[in-house]
Amino acid sequence: MAVLNYELRPLLARWHPLLDTWEAQRPVDRSRMDHEDGWEYAGQLRGELERSRGWLVQYADLLAAAAGVPPLAAYPDPAG
């Protein structure tokens, strides 16, 4: 509950409406990635996502240790 209430919920509550509004303004001839990269807050959001990712990895590692299983980084990356 702490992860949800103190990390994910505030992050999503702040950024999702702002990004959703920006994405709704995308011209049809512009790619989603180009449009998102042009958002004035893109760097700030990405920084906050990276900070949250780091915190979540630490939390996952703590849970892994408590469960007696390898940490998340020990598993192969499913994306790559």
Buried b (16+ CB within 10 A) or exposed e, 28-59: eeeeeeeebeebeeeeebeeeeeebeeeeeee
Say if residue 80's pLDDT is above 80: no
Mean pLDDT in residue range 8-22: 96
pLDDT in tens, 53-68: 999 999 999 999 999 9
Task: Report, as an integer, the average pLDDT of 12-19.
Answer: 97
Average pLDDT over residues 13-25: 97
Average pLDDT of span 14-43? 96
pLDDT, position 72: 80
Token pair, residue 38, equals: 């042009």
Share of the chain above pLDDT 70, in %: 99
